[in-house]
Amino acid sequence: MKFVIEGLTVYFPYEFIYREQYAYMVELKHALDARGHCLLEMPTGTGKTITLLSLITSYQLANPSLAKLIYCTRTVHEMEKVLDELRRLHLYQEKEIGSSRAKILALGLSSRKNLCIHPVVSGETSRESVDAGCRKLTASWVRAAAETNLDIETCSFYQGYEKQGSEQPLPPGVYTLHDLRVYGRQRGWCPYFLARQMIQFANVVVYNYQYLLDPKVSGIISKEMQKECIVVFDEAHNIDNVCIEALSVNLRQNNLDGASRNIHKLNQIISRFKETDANRLRQEYNRLVEGLAQQGNLHGSDNWLANPVLPEDILREAVPGNIRRAEHFVAFLQRAVQYLRERLDTDTVVKEGPVSFTTTMSTAAGLDQKALKFCYDRLHSLLLTLEVTEIDEFLHVQTVCNFLTLVGTYTRGFSIIIEPYDERMPHIPDPVLQLSCLDASLAIKPVFDRFQSVVITSGTLSPIDLYPRLLNFNPVIIHSFTMTLTRDCLCPMILARGSDQLPVSSKFDMRSDPGVVRNYGRLLLEMVATVPDGVVCFFVSYSYMDGIINSWNEMGILQEVMQHKLVFIETQDYVETTLALENFRQACDCGRGAVFFSVARGKVAEGIDFDRHYGRLVIMFGVPFQYTLSKILNARLEYLRDTFQIKEGDFLTFDAVRQAAQCVGRVIRSKADYGMMIFADKRYNLPNKRNKLPQWIQSQLREEHLNLSTDMAVHIAREFLRRMAQPSDPQVSKSTLLSQEDLEKMAAMPNF
């Protein structure tokens, strides 16, 4: 259908549109008009992706000055989904306005691991080994050598791309990663380099958060993007954590050992070069005198890792004299690693700011701050000069350099914490030196500054007013949309008491109380006997889950649960969890029924959907607060309080509730679906927690479902399930949809 929003013709590939989708479009358009950033919350299952794509591409059609849409997703799977939706939209647009006007080029970009079609290299298992395998075949000096020596292997796809592909643009259309690989095979061109080349010309680019937020990657991939771009971060409820992770480094004993080995190897290579090709090293020296900025004219495939987002002036500065020569730099690194090793060898927890850390570093080991800043780039310049292709072997020294650069660059927003052992296991020495970023706004600031509009959206962004403060920006639009439901297909409940009327909670002083454990167990037992097919349980942490499952096992509750449903557990092992999930699905499919124990903030809570019969009920046992004794968390809380005036309690509650909402939100993925959510902790009853839940959950949380005991919850669940099992009336479900005529009528009414 086609309709007009305030003068903008929007092409929407479906016959009907939900009310909230329309409202979303209106708000989004306002933000784009104002050329500002916006923050929009709309529940999953309402077609957020197509709404975004539909409005923004229509906006692009109307305003050709707009450069491109950059759509950031978290996983490759989501990326493909977005591109599939976009293809449908594109087909519709072609039908409506002809293929010449609706011409777009949209493509997804991912790592070499997902795009490589070289028969040998693509078989590698890890991302680093694929990258290294690719470099061995495509680095400029390898290819130069191959021209004279036919024995040296190169990648035919890269050669093909280099010969023809780099000049010819991709024909317009929508390319998923799969399409790119197919196209690459047909033409004999490398899809990865083709995609990287083509994002300059594309109207829509879909890629991972990292490509914009992680300075190590964004430098190469995204630096050519124009200002007139619209950036969308989808599923962005954890964006602050992504930002922080992008700028945090952990160093352990094995990193330092590995770095020492790397340095040793570098020394060997340097001395070899000195004998055979001293000229190269001299050239590099001259180049460094001129400054890092001139590095840009290196060959396309060689600038594989670039500088972190540094203050602009550093890029123009020349590399300091004491690390210009290769052997000096390596000696510098050796001293740094030695110093870090000494720091790591401690019995007490040390917490320091970057300023004091660098000061002691320069006095104790003679490593000055200015030189630190350049470590990362200097290392890469060196690796290029030495023609090292096995970059995956040099990961450790890269980590160390990354650390040194970050420490040298930022004077605030970071803290360095050295812990001699894990708090939870004090007997095992496991020293770790953590450079932890405390300020999420540091990583995302360049994105906000650079691009015209940034859209941050997710199903769960509540409480929505905290995000602008955390990320330190001024959105022009903040809005939270609710879902128009055809029937009450959501049933959130707050369970505060067990059947024996004793309160239940995962609070620290109560969590090991056998009464609470038993009450939680009874709740699970009653529920698996009431709810069909799949049930998902979330616990606050792995250790809590282990403990409570052990107690249930001893009490015999687990055995009783297993009479009704099979039990699967998420573990920290990725493969094991995948297997458990697969079997869980199978048990749901064949009617045996299954229950999945999982952990808030775990892999499952973040990325796996339990829609339809895979999740008819999700129980959140306790409030998933972060581990409050963690040094890093405390440092961050302190920083937030001092810098952004966010109270510790506020942030902790915000974080816990958004995690809980994220967990329970797994259960419903579309309007035709239905599911129940039980928040099993008396603390959810407190207004400061309850009111922070997303609007779409709150609106379904009825007054009488607030302070339930187990037996009441079972009663409600029974009624709810019977009601939901009745066939839905198609007449009623139509009423939440708007057709083209409805929209035209609404447009005629001035005050909608």
Binding site for other proteins (CB under 8 A): 497, 501, 529-533, 564-565, 588-593, 612-613, 616, 704, 707, 711, 715, 718-719, 721-727
Q: Which of 443, 618, 450 is nearest to 539 (CA)?
A: 618
The residues that bridge with 433 in the sheet, in sequence order, are: 251, 418
CA–CA distance, 87 with 45 (Å, rounded to integer) = 19
Considering the complex, what minimum distance in angstroms separates the CB of residue 663 from other proteins?
Answer: 22
Minimum distance from residue 727 beta carbon to other proteins (Å): 8
Task: Output the smallest distance, CB 615 to other proteins, in A.
Answer: 11
Reduced 3-state DSSP string for 261-326: HHHHHHHHHHHHHHHHCHHHHHHHHHHHHHCHHHHHHCCCCCCCCCCCCCCHHHHHCCCCHHHCCH
428 vs 590 by CB, closer to other proteins: 590
The rounded distance, in Å, linking the Cα atoms of 404 and 399 is 9
Which of 90/616 has CB closer to other proteins?
Answer: 616
Query: In whole angstroms, what is the distance from residue 488 CA to residue 674 CA?
Result: 8
Q: How far is the CB of 712 from other proteins (least distance, A)?
A: 8
Residue nearer to other proteins on the CB measure, 428 or 725: 725
State how beta strands 173-175 and 105-108 pair.
Answer: parallel
One-letter amino acid of 573: D
Residues in contact with 636: Cβ distance below 8 Å, sequence separation at least 6, in sequence order:
244, 436, 438
> Of 400 and 489, which CB lies nearer to other proteins in the complex structure?
489
Phi and psi of 151, rounded to 5°?
Answer: -75, -20
Q: How many residues does the chain have?
A: 752
- Among residues 594 and 743, whose Cβ is nearest to other proteins? 594
Nearer to other proteins by C-beta: 10 or 678?
A: 678
Strand partners, 352: 416
The nearer residue to other proteins, 209 or 614, going by C-beta atoms, is 614
If the CB atoms of residues 380 and 616 are measured against other proteins, the closer one turns out to be 616
Cβ 683 to other proteins, closest distance in Å? Answer: 17
Q: How far is the CB of 731 from other proteins (least distance, A)?
A: 11
In whole angstroms, the minimum distance from the beta carbon of 305 to other proteins comes to 48
Closest contact distance (angstroms) between CB of 723 and other proteins is: 7
For the bound state, the minimum distance from the C-beta of residue 579 to other proteins, rounded and expressed in Å, comes to: 19
Helix (H) or strand (E) holding 731: helix 730-734
Quote the strand ranges of 387-461, DSSP E: 414-421, 429-437, 453-458
Q: State yes or no: cis peptide before 215, omega within 30 of 0.
A: no
CA 12/CA 83 separation, integer angstroms: 15
CB of 720 to other proteins, least distance (A): 9
**Token pair 């649960």 is at which residue?**
561
**DSSP code for 483:** P
For 296, 332, 335, the CA distances from 321, given in Å and listed in that order, are: 21, 12, 17
Kindly state the tokens that stand for 67: 């450069």
The smaller minimum CB distance to other proteins, of residues 463 and 503, is found at: 503
- Residue 391 or 527 having the CB closest to other proteins: 527
Q: Which residue has the tokens 């002691």?
A: 360
